Chain A
Amino acid sequence: MSGGLAIAVRVSRIDTVAANIKRFRLVRHDGEPLPVFSAGAHVIVSMDDDGHRRRNPYSLMSAPHDTSGYDISVLRVAESRGGSAFLHEKLREGDALTISHPVNLFHADKRGRKHILLAGGIGITPFLAMMAEFDRANVAFELHYAMRSREHGAYWQELVERYGAHRVKRYFSAENDVLPVASLLHNQPLGTHAYVCGPDRMTDFVLRTARECGWPKSNVHSERFLAPISGKAFDAELLRSGIVVRVGDHESILEAVEAAGIDAPYMCRGGACGQCETAVVACNGVLAHHDVYLSEEEKASGRKVMICVSRFDGTKLSLDL
């Protein structure tokens, strides 16, 4: 599960929606509909930045039932590793990108009787899809949306218009207007679920406050992205085959071995079944075990590796393959 199935898309439209925030509409390259998704889902966007491959996760913000295209919004981050800078400055309408299938690690609890959404800045994006879904299903929700200023905040005017001021509350820190997390969480009916997406400090504060207010853990949700299993490229020596394969930064050892024409055993390709367990003969560096198969002791011993998901960082890795 190193990459997920890729979908070739084209950027059909780029809009500037607030200071430092652009919205990108992605449509399938072959003109077919995209998969329906569930609100809260994200995709991994792969970009080719002058031969440098960048992969960033972005929440899908368009209505989940709209299969004609996906919308994402991207904040230009000052200390960007390059992804948001590339999307803001280099990407043009008509350009090609590759995206993964949607993955959802931030889904609404469908049993909830009421949903409170707490957004900070660009953290609004997954909630745009969620609100479309709640509204369509006639489910009670409230959005509490904190922004730096009127200019820096995206979509707040249209959200107030669409869902009404009783369901959309906005807070601008430039106007000393602070989101009242504690009073909000203190007095909610049973069966309410709260969701937070924003800067880490905000997320931590909401989770802590909810705990202090006695909320059950299962009713408080924060956004998580799938961490793509990737890292620096490295070489793996295959002793039995007598060759060295280069494992790319987003490739698994298994994929590199297969590309070299060597038949290695595998089954689930997700680090669970144990089929691709491979003996490590020499390891000068650190193995990054991403599987759920090996025990902690086996991982610590450094003598085995599950080549479908795990990686290596160091100078020499020799495998019994």
Chain B
Amino acid sequence: MAIVFRQETFRDDFTYRNSPGNIRRFPFPFDRDEYMYSVNMEPHVRGQAGTVYESLIDVDEHYVAEMQDRALVLKEDPLRYQALPHMMAAQWDTLELLMEEQAAGYPEHFTLIRNGDRWRWINRPLGIDDTFTFGDRSTLPYDPFEYITRQAQGDFCIVDQRDGNLWMDAGMVTTQADWSLDFDIGMNFMEWHGPVPLAHQIGVFDRALKFLLNLQLGKPTRRFNWTMTINPRLDTSPENYHKWGPDRTTVTPDNVGEKVHLRVELQSLWRLPRSNAILFVIRCYLISMNELVTVPKWARRLHRVLKTLPPELVDYKGLTRYRDNTIAWLSKHDDGAPTSPGIFPD
């Protein structure tokens, strides 16, 4: 079924909204009433229709608007896209993967026709119909990685594997939860995770790194991460902190429902065939509190998660200034009833 793409903004007048159908498929990340870091990885396999697992690279009603927002970010700050010279094979790997997955999942919107190295890519929502030579950079208007990630929702990092570590050697990062590709590029797995509290001490990153070094072709894996954002703003980067940081002081008991958003990252990790690198997809989903409480189970559970969140995480995730207002607002939607296991609505 064809997706109806919304016209909306992630800045200025913030017209972003989720349709009722899109709320039901929101990837609510909490499978219980409290939260702590863990190596919460599971095989990235297709799931039920009406969930974000319907396709392995998810396209939804925000696709066109998100791509327009990405183009605006890149225009203001081209360094949001970077790729080190040795990553060219991984760039082509990524282009192939994203084209194939989008065409397989949404044939009414995307078509890939491969004729040897001569490929034709049709992207109907964005009005693109390009023919190019796979492997020949000069036949595309951008680097292959930049070309395809201007046409795919989510942030993308390609990490090179060597010396028993993973290295952040390419990225397209415009919808990030307060981290900077320009700062992290060239860092290894332990370095770019340096600022995360508590998780290092309980060995989460040692285990996750060992797990990822063994990631196999054809067996992608996924995990959730989450934070909260004031206003439906995709680009919450350190570079633009002056634009979004002050938003956190604008939350009042009366505007929590529209201002405060749960921000969920569905991260999927894929071993790439030609380069042996790993593609790290960080797909961001936003939902306002007004939208979230239309699912009673999620309203109860988020209220309890926020109440019991360790103080280190409250600070690290930047919730300090508006957490109390949000808990008070959500408490009206929590009658204390038990919640069912799992993440899906009842």
For the complex formed, measure the closest distance between the CB of B166 and the CB atoms of chain A, giving whole angstroms.
Answer: 13
Interface with B: A31-39, A145-153, A167-175, A242-250, which one? A31-39
Are the CB atoms of B221 and A64 closer together than 8 Å? no
- On chain A, the residues within 8 Å of B245 by CB distance are none
Q: Which residues of A contact B (CB under 8 A)?
A: 1, 4-5, 35-38, 40-41, 64-65, 101-104, 107, 109-111, 217-218, 267-274, 292-293
A4 and B216 in contact (CB under 8 A), knowing A36-B274, A38-B275, A38-B276?
A: yes
Within the complex, which residue of A40, A218, A267 is in contact with B42, where a contact is CB–CB below 8 Å? A267
Q: List 17 A-B contacts (CB under 8 A).
A: A1-B214, A101-B217, A101-B218, A101-B219, A107-B161, A110-B87, A111-B86, A217-B163, A268-B221, A270-B221, A272-B39, A272-B41, A272-B210, A272-B211, A273-B41, A273-B211, A293-B207
Interface residues of B in 126-178 (CB under 8 A from A): 160-163
- On chain B, the residues within 8 Å of A270 by CB distance are 41, 211, 214, 221
A103 and B217 in contact (CB under 8 A), knowing A110-B160, A272-B208, A272-B211?
A: yes
A268 and B211 in contact (CB under 8 A), knowing A36-B273, A107-B161?
A: yes
Interface residues of B in 202-222 (CB under 8 A from A): 206-208, 210-211, 214, 216-219, 221
Are the CB atoms of B274 and A273 closer together than 8 Å? no
A110 and B38 in contact (CB under 8 A), knowing A1-B219, A292-B206?
A: no
- On chain B, the residues within 8 Å of A217 by CB distance are 163
Are the CB atoms of B89 and A273 closer together than 8 Å? no
Bound CA span A217–B160, Å: 18
Q: Give a binary string over B34-75; 1 marks a CB under 8 Å from any A CB, 0 the rest.
A: 000011111100000000000000000000000000000000
A64 and B274 in contact (CB under 8 A), knowing A103-B216, A273-B38?
A: yes
Interface residues of B in 297-312 (CB under 8 A from A): none
Are the CB atoms of A267 and B41 closer together than 8 Å? yes
Q: Give a binary string over B329-346; 1 marks a CB under 8 Å from any A CB, 0 the rest.
A: 000000000000000000
- On chain A, the residues within 8 Å of B39 by CB distance are 268, 272-274, 293
Place the interface of chain B in its size category.
20 to 34
Are the CB atoms of B162 and A218 closer together than 8 Å? yes
For the complex formed, measure the closest distance between the CB of B25 and the CB atoms of chain A, giving whole angstroms.
Answer: 22
- On chain A, the residues within 8 Å of B206 by CB distance are 292
Are the CB atoms of A292 and B273 closer together than 8 Å? no
Are the CB atoms of B207 and A292 closer together than 8 Å? yes
User: A5-B218, A109-B162, A273-B39 known; 7 other A-B pairs, CB under 8 Å?
Assistant: A37-B274, A38-B273, A38-B276, A110-B86, A110-B275, A272-B41, A292-B211
A104 and B211 in contact (CB under 8 A), knowing A1-B216, A4-B219?
A: no
For the complex formed, measure the closest distance between the CB of A52 and the CB atoms of chain B, giving whole angstroms.
Answer: 26
Bound CA span A253–B217, Å: 23
Q: Which residue of B lies closest to A40 (CB)?
A: B276
Are the CB atoms of B273 and A37 closer together than 8 Å? yes
Q: Which residue of A lies closest to B96 (CB)?
A: A36
The interface centre, meaning the residue of B38, B39, B275 with most chain A CB atoms within 10 A of its CB, is: B39
Bound CA span A104–B273, Å: 9
For the complex formed, measure the closest distance between the CB of B39 and the CB atoms of chain A, giving whole angstroms.
Answer: 4
For the complex formed, measure the closest distance between the CB of A290 and the CB atoms of chain B, giving whole angstroms.
Answer: 11
- On chain B, the residues within 8 Å of A269 by CB distance are 43
Q: Which residue of A lies closest to B41 (CB)?
A: A268
Q: Which residue of A lies closest to B213 (CB)?
A: A105
For the complex formed, measure the closest distance between the CB of B279 and the CB atoms of chain A, giving whole angstroms.
Answer: 14
Are the CB atoms of A41 and B216 closer together than 8 Å? no
- On chain B, the residues within 8 Å of A35 by CB distance are 217-218, 273
Within the complex, which residue of B162, B210, B217, B275 is in contact with A292, where a contact is CB–CB below 8 Å? B210
- On chain A, the residues within 8 Å of B216 by CB distance are 1, 4-5, 101, 103
- On chain A, the residues within 8 Å of B274 by CB distance are 36-38, 64-65
Bound CA span A64–B273, Å: 9
Bound CA span A270–B220, Å: 12
A102 and B275 in contact (CB under 8 A), knowing A274-B39, A292-B211?
A: no
- On chain A, the residues within 8 Å of B43 by CB distance are 268-269
> Which 9 residue pairs across A and B have the least CB separation, nearest first?
A272-B211, A110-B86, A38-B276, A292-B210, A36-B273, A101-B217, A273-B39, A268-B41, A5-B218
Q: Which residue of A lies closest to B164 (CB)?
A: A218
For the complex formed, measure the closest distance between the CB of B342 and the CB atoms of chain A, giving whole angstroms.
Answer: 13
- On chain A, the residues within 8 Å of B87 by CB distance are 110
For the complex formed, measure the closest distance between the CB of A99 and the CB atoms of chain B, giving whole angstroms.
Answer: 12
Bound CA span A218–B39, Å: 28
- On chain A, the residues within 8 Å of B276 by CB distance are 38, 40-41, 104, 107
- On chain A, the residues within 8 Å of B221 by CB distance are 268, 270
For the complex formed, measure the closest distance between the CB of A225 and the CB atoms of chain B, giving whole angstroms.
Answer: 13
The interface centre, meaning the residue of A5, A38, A102, A293 with most chain B CB atoms within 10 A of its CB, is: A38
